[in-house]
A and B are shown apart, each in its own frame.
Chain A
Amino acid sequence: MIEIYTARKILTMNPSWPEGTAVAVRDGQILEVGDLADFGPWLAVDEHQLIDDFKDQVIMPGLIDPHLHPLMAAVLLPMQFITGLEWRFPWETVPATEGPAAYRQALERAHDERPAGERFLTWGYHAHWHGDMSRQLLDEIFADRPVVVWQRSFHEVYLNTAMLAELGIDPEALKGRHQIDIDRGHFYENGLSYAIGKLNPIIMSEEWIDFGLKRLKQLVHFGGQTTVGDMAVGLFDVELEWQAALRNLEQPDSPFRVRCVPHAVRLAAMHGDHDQGLAAARELVERNTDKLQFTNKIKFFTDGAFFSQLALLQEPGYIDGHLGEWLMPPEAYEAATRIYWQAGYEIHVHCTGDLGVELAVDTLAKLQAEHPRFDHGYTIEHFGFSTPEQVTRIKALGGQVSANVYYLHELSHAYGEAGVGVERAHQAARIGSCERAGIRWTLHSDFPMAPALSLHSAWVACTRENCEGEVVAGAERVSLDAALRAITIDAAAVLGLEDVTGSIRAGKSADFAVLDKDPYEVGAAGLKDINVVATVFAGDVFPVSAG
């Protein structure tokens, strides 16, 4: 049976055959895209069914978010989001909550809406938006209800008295401990890891994770994505993550595939060293299922997190003089990547600051000199701060870039004021230069760090509009066409899936995002207002219910 989908317009993202109005699909595979009138030869050999539900819509290839963290998302998503900026989810649109009074009202509403005594965990609090937080404030609002307030950066929590009691934490025993302000119920950095140890039985329980992954499935679908990258399998625990993925993401109701990229340092820690880690990475491929697929890709990290200002900077560094952090010693990074490089692996490396990027690029140069490779897939992930000179070298060495543009959307204003100054803050995610240099680049969310809405990311990339409404480093804006490629065919190529998905052409998987507007008609400024009406994954239709 051949299914024929008709549309007002089909944008194939194949420049050789750019548009059509009908696409024929059999057993989840695209047979032909173009004009229905030309499909006769196919229809002569098989029965067909016309699906005209989308005849007034626009069909694009299924969108791709090539870097997110499913298990981290699963831990976070069961919590109630109360955030300084708006977050759109299929189950609710979380409005921007600005100011201490509004934040307090949101907490009071959460309390009133819940059965007495039920635990309440919320994420998104930030002093910048929401003022002071303390155990007393939470006790005042929530009385006996156990409450956890998780700060937006993930590095701090506040627990109220009832929650301390539930976790068996004796406030007296924690008096005076460093990075714990027990009077205010505040745990941060090392204090946070102590608190997380106590919270783990709740937030790592199977019930909690399965609920979180159910929501992850909904939001990936809502964003029109039919392929995502899990860009650090093993971040928590390989087996726990794999079992959770099998229970949830391998199921028939899961409308996307996951490219699984293992965390090299965790593999080495589990198996002894990087040689044995490589052997383990090769064995992971044998587990591949329909939707969960490892390949010859591996994930490394150079420097610390962008959100907590632990990215490593070249001179002149941070204005306050603090240093960022190496996540592994540079010599160790070089030695470990050499093992994977010589084994033909494609290395994805988290780099948030320009010193982190510098190490990644210097190392790539050494590896190329020792053992030259073409089309090697060495990818700079995140690409927070960088220099124009690094873009030139990435191009020369055949590297690619997967950028998080939400950095500039949420933080360019704040980091201009307190952090690194306007010049560097505004040029975060230097992707206009990547487009001009002809580097293959893509966009990701790093969810839960930023919303997994590919069209929103494309909007930021094209407009460079931050949350204050400023256009920052306009010269780094990208073209509309490049941004749309970045969330489709170029993302597929960065994940090594360009023969499977990312464009609509004969032979690829029938992965579509059905949109209510044509991105080329609404233009860059309109990208964020396009709604995803449905997705099609491997030939199965998954409607998006009203958001």
Chain B
Amino acid sequence: MTVIAGYLGSGKTTLINRLLATQQGQRLAVLVNDFGEINIDAELIDSASERTISLTNGCVCCVIGDDLGMALKTLAADAVQLDHVLLEASGVADGARLGDIARSWPGYCLAQVVTLVDVSRIRTLTNDKFIGRHIHRQLTECDRLLLSRIDLVSDAALADCQQWLKSVSTVPMAPADATMPDELLSISGSPFSGESLDDSPGHPVLETVSFTGEKPLSRAEFETWLAELRDVVLRAKGFVVFAEAPDQSYLLQLVDGAVVELTPHSRPADLGGSLLLIGRDLSAIADPFRR
């Protein structure tokens, strides 16, 4: 997970839009405060609900609301194979503290905490009586400062600002526009991750298995099979067709081994069933289509 901090108007959304538009090969989940300014080409949208938008390139956007735990749960249910999560911090949040959630939540680790800095008004903000100390904390407690709105200030003012930033923070800085997505997505072993990533016992190795089959399944046998997943499967998603209603597909979603959704779906039933499971020690799981 990469946490993107910075005050209102510092360019967090612009950065996220750029990452979504330019990233290749990685499946990103973006947790944002609202969809208002996220710029997603309509052609890229695969499906959308109130809280999530799935893109055809495999990425997913999800609204945090003010319940990050719920957003992480939604994410786990909606997107089964994610490479990276981008978390947009609210304007006054302590990015490092927010990154803690990646260190608490099983299955995640913290890559970096970056802070966007609007060079045209950062010094005003750090003197603000309400948020000055919080902005100051954002400048010092992160892995990378990304300077934005550089075009709004003169070269001399920019140099001044950089000089001043160096006097208040030892964090490396770079222009936001010139920063490549890879640099933000790499797991650099943030000092704020507080743990070595290589041998972290909290980051268990997960396996993935998939099953497909055209034959409709007996619902009773399928439910017996689901019960066996409880202790080993973290997430699962897919479609099944039951013998009792051979013209109807069902969407299945499991989180932490429990079924959170098994509902009729518009997918044509003649495509058959297709299931993807993520968990530990999956070798013992039987193929439900081969019973």
A residues apposed to B, CB below 8 Å: 168, 170, 172-180, 189-191, 193-194, 196-198, 265-266, 269-270, 272-273, 314, 317, 323, 325-326, 328-332, 355, 358-359
Contacts and interface: CB of A to CB of B under 8 A. Distances in A.
B194 interface: yes
B175 interface: no
Given A326-B92, A329-B91, A177 B105 contact: yes
The 7 residue pairs across chains A and B that have the minimum distance between CB atoms: A178-B103, A176-B202, A190-B104, A193-B69, A329-B91, A269-B65, A326-B92
B239 interface: no
Given A168-B231, A168-B257, A179 B8 contact: no
Contact of B101 (A190, A265, A323, A329): A190
Contacts of A330: 92, 128, 130-131
B202 A329 contact: no
16 contacts: A168-B256, A176-B195, A177-B103, A177-B106, A178-B195, A179-B103, A190-B101, A190-B104, A194-B105, A270-B65, A323-B133, A325-B94, A331-B8, A332-B91, A355-B130, A358-B130
A231 B202 CA distance: 39
Contact of B134 (A196, A314, A326, A331): A326
A175 B202 contact: yes
A196 B69 contact: yes
A197 B200 CA distance: 23
A161 B200 CA distance: 23
Interface string B11-42: 00000000000000000000000101000000
A323 B141 CA distance: 13
Contacts of A273: 34, 36
Contacts of A196: 69
B204 interface: yes
B4 interface: no
B134 A323 contact: yes
B66 interface: yes
Contacts of B265: none
B106 A174 contact: yes
A166 B290 CA distance: 32
Contacts of B66: 265-266, 269
Interface in B76-103: 90-92, 94, 100-101, 103
Interface in B99-142: 100-101, 103-106, 128-131, 133-134, 137
B229 to A, nearest CB: 11
Interface in B132-174: 133-134, 137
B68 interface: yes
B69 A194 contact: yes
Chain B CB within 10 A, most for which of A177, A193, A196: A177
Contacts of B231: 168, 170
A198 B133 CA distance: 36
B73 interface: yes
A264 to B, nearest CB: 11
Contacts of B128: 330
The size bracket of the interface on B is 35 or more
Given A173-B202, A190-B103, 17 more contacts: A168-B257, A174-B106, A176-B200, A177-B104, A178-B202, A180-B104, A194-B106, A196-B69, A269-B65, A269-B66, A272-B34, A323-B133, A326-B130, A328-B92, A329-B8, A358-B129, A358-B130
B104 A176 contact: no
A359 B130 contact: yes
A432 to B, nearest CB: 27
Contacts of A272: 34
Nearest to A268: B34
A197 B36 CA distance: 28
A174 B202 contact: yes
A288 to B, nearest CB: 26
Contact of B100 (A175, A190, A328): A190
B7 interface: yes
Contacts of B90: 328-329
Contacts of B91: 329, 331-332
A328 B204 CA distance: 35
B201 A176 contact: yes
A178 B131 contact: no
Interface in B165-214: 194-195, 200-202, 204
Contacts of A170: 231
A175 B201 contact: yes
Nearest to B130: A330
Contacts of B105: 177, 190, 194
A178 B100 contact: yes
A329 B106 contact: no
B217 interface: no
Nearest to A263: B66
Contacts of B65: 266, 269-270
A128 B1 CA distance: 36
Contacts of B134: 323, 326
Interface string B32-57: 00101000000000000000000000
Contacts of B194: 178
Contacts of B256: 168, 198
B240 interface: no
Contacts of A178: 100, 103-104, 194-195, 202
Chain B CB within 10 A, most for which of A170, A175, A326, A358: A326
B7 A329 contact: yes
A490 B65 CA distance: 35
A194 B106 CA distance: 9
A333 to B, nearest CB: 9
Contacts of A172: 204
A424 B280 CA distance: 53
Contacts of A325: 92, 94
Contacts of B68: 193
A180 B134 CA distance: 26
B63 interface: yes
B100 A179 contact: yes
A404 to B, nearest CB: 22
A175 to B, nearest CB: 5
